[in-house]
Amino acid sequence: MTKFILPLLLLTFTSAFSQNVLVDIHHNKLDYFIKLETQQGAELFPQKSNYVSAEDIAQPIVYRLKQNNLPDLLSYYFFYKKDSSISYILYEWDESNFMDGSQIAKKSYEEIKPYIDKYQLLFDKLSIIYGKPESEGGLGDSIKLATESVSERDVWHVNDSTEIDLQIGLSNKSDRHGAISTKPSFKIRLYIQNNSKEKNNESNISNEKLTSLDKTFHRFLSDIKHQKFESAQTFIADTLQSKITNQQLSALANSIRDTTIEIFISSLRLSQDGKSFYIIQYRYADDNKSAPQQVINVIFDSKNKILGVRSVNRSR
């Protein structure tokens, strides 16, 4: 169960716009993504082959996550050897990752439709955030899927440092011409590419800043626990103060247990207009699992004011 207590800005949507997919790769390093994969129940997926990459890029860390009506999602994290910042991420739904390609059978339209629906979901949400992409191909002719193939590719040039490349290929073709054979293939790929010429070494929150933010939240939490709502409002971003009621603050206080909390994950992000904001995820000190049952996500603006609080209780 997830409880949304204080308003969360649209900018949080740009970081995790769809289940299991993250597009903000500039302000987080490998360990951040590993923690998130662990939280959602993904498992390390062993690789039997090496990838050819630039000399300064390590072999990827790959996670496998169970999916419904689709092949399991593989998430590939290609990172720089020097500082573990991310070069690019590949999200892939492709059953050939788990069986020999020759074993893949033709599919009915009903079996193919989950691929189309997933692609459309990714396309729609990326378009909401980043606008119209450069597009090739299309999935309009579903009749062709019975015996032929369709494909689409959509690319968003977000800025000078980020490119997003979404691809789908669906084919029921199965034939042989001499030594060349064609087998059915069904896959979705999403690349998040870091094109920065210089790596940002300030991706993490400084210790001084983190300490300041942590103090702000604990003071805010103490105020709402003691029903000092007027004082609590001073810790909320100015643009949100008039929208937050005492009843909401009281509900938030009741949703957070009266026990010690500690910082689990923290990161610095940029909104679409280039403004920085900060995210701290807390866990309860008596829950030391790698994937905590309960967490509290807090978002701060550049002035140390609270933009949003989300209390999450994960079901098991």
| 78 and 188 part of one domain | yes
Look at residue 53 and tell me if it is in a domain. yes
CB 211 within 8 A of CB 192: no
| Phi and psi at residue 225, to the nearest 5° | -65, -35
Give every strand in the sheet of 276-284, ordered side by side. Answer: 2-4, 306-313, 294-301, 276-284, 261-270
**pLDDT at site 224:** 94
Helix (H/G/I), strand (E/B), else coil: 125:
helix
End of a domain among 173, 194, 215? 194
**Which of these, 152, 168, 125, lies nearest to 23 by C-alpha position?**
125
- 9 pLDDT exceeds 60? no
Helices (H), 57-206: 109-130
Return the pLDDT at 273: 53
Tell me if the pTM is above 0.75.
Answer: no
pLDDT in tens, 211-224: 999 999 999 999 99
Q: Is the pLDDT of residue 53 over 70?
A: no
Sequence-ordered alpha helix ranges (H) in 137-261: 207-225, 229-233, 246-255
Confidence of residue 13 (pLDDT cuts 50, 70, 90): very low
User: Are 114 and 50 contained in the same domain?
Assistant: yes
Whether 112 has a pLDDT exceeding 70, the answer reads: yes
Which residues touch 128 (CB under 8 Å, ≥6 apart)? none
> Can you state the angle between helices 246-255 and 207-225, rounded to 10 degrees?
110
Q: Is residue 1 part of a domain?
A: no
Ranking 10-14, 98-102, 136-140, 175-179 by mean pLDDT, the lowest is: 10-14
Confidence of residue 134 (pLDDT cuts 50, 70, 90): very high
Q: CATH number, domain at 213?
A: 3.10.450.590
Final residue before a domain boundary, out of 194, 222, 256: 194
Residue 204 is predicted with a pLDDT of 66
Same domain, 218 and 165: no
286 plus 149 within the same structural domain: no
Residue 1 scores a pLDDT above 50: no
**How does DSSP classify residue 14?**
H
Check whether residue 42 and residue 79 sit in a common domain: yes
Are 37 and 130 in a shared domain? Answer: yes
Which of the four pLDDT bands, split at 50, 70 and 90, describes residue 154?
very high
> What pLDDT shows up at residue 191?
93
Contacts 24+ apart (CB under 8 A), 15-21: 15/269, 15/279, 17/125, 17/126, 17/129, 18/121, 18/122, 18/125, 20/65, 20/73, 20/75, 20/91, 21/91, 21/122, 21/190
Same domain, 172 and 39: yes
* Alpha-carbon span 246 to 283, nearest angstrom: 25
DSSP structure class, residue 99: S
201 lies in a domain? no
Among 130-134, 147-151, 218-222, 231-235, which is the least confidently predicted range? Answer: 147-151
Domain that includes residue 212, residue range: 207-313
Structure confidence at residue 160 (pLDDT): 73
Q: Are residues 130 and 226 in the same domain?
A: no
Confidence (pLDDT) at 73: 96
In whole numbers, what is the pLDDT of the chain averaged over residues?
82
Shared domain check, 189 and 53 = yes
Q: How many domains does the chain have?
A: 2
φ, ψ dihedrals at 121, nearest 5°: -65, -45
Query: 160 and 245 in one domain?
Result: no
Comparing 116-125, 288-297, 301-310, the range with the smallest average pLDDT is 288-297
51 and 179 share a domain? yes
The predicted pLDDT at position 17 comes to: 47
Q: Are 26 and 203 in contact (CB under 8 A)?
A: yes
